[in-house]
């Protein structure tokens, strides 16, 4: 499965991160227990949303073990943190913010995966 994970990581470069952990290695057992890894292979998604106890919410991937399917799932998990503006609202958006602003001018109705990934990564540093 390693080649499939590598394909998924390449397809989502810049918008999602994939990490591999050997849960059979003694130095990783505590980490694997913390994330409730019980079988192999396991693919977990850690969201930015937090539980009541403050840890990141975990979602177990149950889909096909193909790079394309895993990449599609990773992209589907990206939050859309950007605001949709009309030309009339642009000045107010920039003026109201306490943070630097990033604005994407497009004719598309939905933000691209790359834009959503950048917005998720820079959340709390830049307003989108």
Per-residue pLDDT of 93-102, as tens digits, reads 888 878 898 8
Interatomic CA distance for residues 128 and 112, integer angstroms: 13
Q: What angle do CA 9, 4, 64 make, to 5 degrees?
A: 105
Q: Same domain, yes or no, for 42 and 92?
A: no
Q: Same domain, yes or no, for 51 and 19?
A: yes
The pTM of the full predicted model, rounded to 2 decimals, is 0.72
What's the gap between Cα 10 and its chain centre? 14
Q: Same domain, yes or no, for 66 and 109?
A: no
| Domains: count for the chain | 2
Domain of 103, in residue numbers: 87-121
Domain presence at residue 82: no
Length of the chain: 128
Interatomic CA distance for residues 94 and 83, integer angstroms: 12
- Both tokens of 11, joined, read 């397809």
Number of other residues whose CB lies within 10 A of the CB of residue 67:
20
Q: Same domain, yes or no, for 53 and 100?
A: no
Q: Same domain, yes or no, for 35 and 64?
A: yes
Contact 59, 77 (CB under 8 A): yes
Q: Same domain, yes or no, for 55 and 34?
A: yes
Q: Same domain, yes or no, for 46 and 91?
A: no
Is the pLDDT reported for residue 79 higher than 90? no
Interatomic CA distance for residues 50 and 34, integer angstroms: 15
Domain presence at residue 108: yes
pLDDT of residue 24: 93
Domain presence at residue 97: yes
What is the band of 61 on the pLDDT scale with cuts at 50, 70, 90?
very high
């Amino acid at each position: 499965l390693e080649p499939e994970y590598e394909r998924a990581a390449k397809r989502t470069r810049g918008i999602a991160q994939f990490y591999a952990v050997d849960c059979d290695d003694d130095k990783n057992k505590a980490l694997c227990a913390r994330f409730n890894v019980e079988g192999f292979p396991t693919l977990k998604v850690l969201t930015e949303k937090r539980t009541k106890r403050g840890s990141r919410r975990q979602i177990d991937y149950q889909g096909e073990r193909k790079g394309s399917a895993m990449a599609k799932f990773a992209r589907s998990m990206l939050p859309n943190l950007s605001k949709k503006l009309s030309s009339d609202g642009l000045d107010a958006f920039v003026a109201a913010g306490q943070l630097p602003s990033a604005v994407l001018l497009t004719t598309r109705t939905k933000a691209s995966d790359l834009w959503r990934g950048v917005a998720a990564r820079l959340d709390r540093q830049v307003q989108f």
